[in-house]
């Protein structure tokens, strides 16, 4: 187990370093391209309740899809830190009648000012989750920052999970643990 953790940790560190080294132009270009593809996919799925995220540390910025999804009447949600040791995140409504105001949350990430949904309500209500990651496999494997926040939030959700990253973040193999949620 120790060797496996080291291998995952080493891969995670290398991918995070590469992402930190991206220029603002690289991030903007990657984000624009991903948002275009994502909007096409979401149009086919006809999603009414969508969870997005607000980017940090040179992640793909998916905020470009917000106006189009709002125009289509989709209710957006975004992660919000909550005081629960088992599930440190839920989601809160964003946009529409809930407003577009954001605050810096407990983990330094932008989040909606609206109140978070109860975990079970979030899991049953959101039809599609747009999820950032540090690394992915073509078969749906994902590693994040290593704290398991998204894995706990997404565990048992029936919604579609779409992993978002740069093309170089897709690697041939990632060691997955039993609690890791597939995209």
DSSP string spanning 4-41? HHHHHHHHHHHHHHHHHT--HHHHHHHHHHHHHHHHHH
Q: Alpha helices, DSSP H only, in 72-118?
A: none
Q: How many residues does the chain have?
A: 183
Tokens of 27: 């991030």
Q: pTM for the whole thing? A: 0.89
Q: What is the pLDDT of residue 2?
A: 45
- 183 residues of the chain, pLDDT tens digit each: 444 444 567 888 999 999 999 999 999 999 999 999 999 999 999 999 999 999 999 999 999 999 999 999 999 999 998 877 677 889 999 998 888 899 998 888 999 999 999 989 999 999 999 999 999 999 999 998 878 889 999 998 999 999 999 999 999 888 887 888 999
In this structure, what DSSP letter does residue 170 have? B
Q: Which residues, other chains included, contact 151 with Cβ-Cβ below 8 Å and sequence gap of 6+?
A: 144, 179, 180, 181
Measuring CA to CA, how many Å separate 30 from each of 22, 53, 134, 143?
A: 10, 16, 15, 19
Task: Identify which of 180, 179, 178, 90 has the alpha carbon closest to the alpha carbon of residue 135.
Answer: 180
Q: What is the pLDDT of residue 108?
A: 87
């Amino acid at each position: 187990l120790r060797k496996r953790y080291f291998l995952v940790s080493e891969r995670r560190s290398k991918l995070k370093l590469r992402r930190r080294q991206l220029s603002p132009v690289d991030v903007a270009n990657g984000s624009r391209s991903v948002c275009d593809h994502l909007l096409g996919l979401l149009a086919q799925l006809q999603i009414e309740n969508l969870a997005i995220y607000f980017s940090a540390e040179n992640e793909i910025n998916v905020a470009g899809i917000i106006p189009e999804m709002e125009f289509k009447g989709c209710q957006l949600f975004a992660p919000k830190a909550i005081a629960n040791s088992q599930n440190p995140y839920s989601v809160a409504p964003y946009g529409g009648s809930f407003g577009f105001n954001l605050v810096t949350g407990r983990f330094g990430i932008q989040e909606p000012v609206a109140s978070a949904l109860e975990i079970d309500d979030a899991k049953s209500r959101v039809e599609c989750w747009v999820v950032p990651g540090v690394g992915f496999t073509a078969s749906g494997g994902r590693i994040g920052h290593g704290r398991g926040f998204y894995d706990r939030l997404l565990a048992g959700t029936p919604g579609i999970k779409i992993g978002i990253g740069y093309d170089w973040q897709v690697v041939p193999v990632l060691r997955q643990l039993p609690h890791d949620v597939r995209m």
